[in-house]
A and B are shown apart, each in its own frame.
Chain A
């Protein structure tokens, strides 16, 4: 009988420890990743992230490239470490954000100036691309610039609709940023090297310049 009581006590102690472990503080990581064309790519990214011990709640949206996971706050994983791991897995992180367990937020987009809506103008630019992943890459290449308020690319029309403050950023600069990400515009051709590094599903037919 004693033995049974001891076993129950031990189980109780182990149970309470594991309960404590489940409740430990977790940071939430959100990364938008370029190049998740299909489940094969998405599961591949997940597989490479399993190298982080303690990772939980891994979620991947193949269409948008949104990738999120929880990680123990005590490990203080940095944005840089996450970025490196995404690159190691063969993908390109576009934006990343951490919501720490204590409520603070860190983002790769920190430092962007706030825009005054009355200074914004709208324009459309033709940009070559194929798929949802192209869309994410093109839009982010524009949005990452200071002065760009909104950017939306259509897979059907191939038009990038922009809203931006011309006193802060020029259309030339936006087109150049998009071309630097690997996508031809009417006025700017992406470098061969960058184009070749695009995921295979994103390698569109080049535009005549």
Chain B
């Protein structure tokens, strides 16, 4: 009588091992046409999907069919954006302003925009991205070739124009995670990561012949970057090993996020939202 239990236990152990070994990869799902939107940045505010539409100086909330649900107009070249459950975080390239936006029924358009005071000596020159994480803020200051970071108490600035580690050639996107600040160093064609004192930690993608690394998204296991001119998205491990190259549907992409286990990539020029889902790798090897 013991044997059936032992066999069952062995079977369960083996199948659970097999499941753990399954490798997932991003697989093209579909392209959603965004009528009249040329998206540059993308962010998820709770369940809402928001895009910055630089050409039309607005932020728009869209639905799954790419239709506009809400619009915040009269902005000045909004670029990469961020969001949490309550706020949108906005960087305006044209007027050097960074702000948060909250819903406010007392405002005529239903939103209240509050500019941030940025505690550094020189003024911003074309902020290309803003990132928010647990009361911390980071800004990619495009023409000044630097990153500004606020840990909730003090602002620091780091980086200067150049090709060496820790230097930038037009940073276009930034993201904060638990211990690092990640930067899309656009025309050095690489991603750089820094600690929260601004000290260089690592870089990746510099050997992938990227041509303008315009947007990035960092998940728990992956670092994803849009390679604008080469019409592709590169997916790295956190150690910088290239895992996957995504090309289907990608054309002059500027930004990307993962929301509800779906990768959302935006094509600037053609005005499209491209969706990828996770699927088991076809050539998987089991134990």
What residues of chain A have their CB less than 8 Å away from a CB belonging to chain B?
Answer: 37-40, 43-44, 46-47, 50, 62-63, 130-131, 199-201
Q: Are B214 and A38 in contact (CB under 8 A)?
A: yes
Residues of A within 8 A of B40 (CB): 39
- Most chain B beta-carbon contacts within 10 A, residue among A37, A46, A63: A37
Q: Are A39 and B254 in contact (CB under 8 A)?
A: yes
Q: Are A37 and B212 in contact (CB under 8 A)?
A: yes
- Most chain B beta-carbon contacts within 10 A, residue among A40, A46, A201: A40
Q: Are A44 and B143 in contact (CB under 8 A)?
A: yes
Total residue contacts A-B, CB cutoff 8 A = 63
Within 8 A of A (CB), among B127-141: 128
* 17 A–B contacts, CB within 8 A, in A order: A37-B228, A38-B212, A38-B228, A39-B254, A40-B126, A40-B172, A40-B186, A43-B54, A47-B94, A63-B269, A130-B229, A131-B211, A131-B229, A200-B187, A200-B212, A201-B187, A201-B211
| Chain B residue nearest in CB terms to A37 | B212
Within 8 A of A (CB), among B149-203: 169-170, 172, 186-189
Q: Are B142 and A40 in contact (CB under 8 A)?
A: yes
What residues of chain B have their CB less than 8 Å away from a CB belonging to chain A?
Answer: 38, 40, 54-55, 77, 79, 93-94, 126, 128, 142-143, 169-170, 172, 186-189, 211-212, 214, 228-229, 252, 254, 268-269
CB distance from B128 to the nearest CB of A (A): 6
CA of A126 to CA of B77 in the docked complex: distance in angstroms? 39
* Main SS class of interface, B: loop
Residues of B within 8 A of A63 (CB): 269
Residues of B within 8 A of A50 (CB): 94
Given the interface pairs A62-B269, A200-B188, the reply to whether A43 lies near B212 with Cβ below 8 Å is no
CA of A63 to CA of B251 in the docked complex: distance in angstroms? 13
CB distance from B284 to the nearest CB of A (A): 36
**A37-B229, A38-B186, A38-B214 given; 18 more Cβ-contact pairs under 8 Å:** A37-B212, A38-B228, A39-B38, A39-B40, A39-B254, A40-B93, A40-B170, A40-B214, A43-B77, A43-B94, A44-B142, A46-B94, A47-B77, A47-B93, A200-B186, A200-B211, A200-B212, A201-B229
Q: Are B79 and A40 in contact (CB under 8 A)?
A: yes
Q: Are A38 and B254 in contact (CB under 8 A)?
A: yes
Residues of B within 8 A of A38 (CB): 186, 212, 214, 228-229, 252, 254, 268
Residues of A within 8 A of B211 (CB): 130-131, 200-201
Q: Are A40 and B229 in contact (CB under 8 A)?
A: no
Residues of A within 8 A of B169 (CB): 200
Q: Are B188 and A43 in contact (CB under 8 A)?
A: no
CA of A50 to CA of B95 in the docked complex: distance in angstroms? 10
Residues of A within 8 A of B79 (CB): 40, 43
CA of A128 to CA of B143 in the docked complex: distance in angstroms? 29
Q: Are B189 and A40 in contact (CB under 8 A)?
A: no
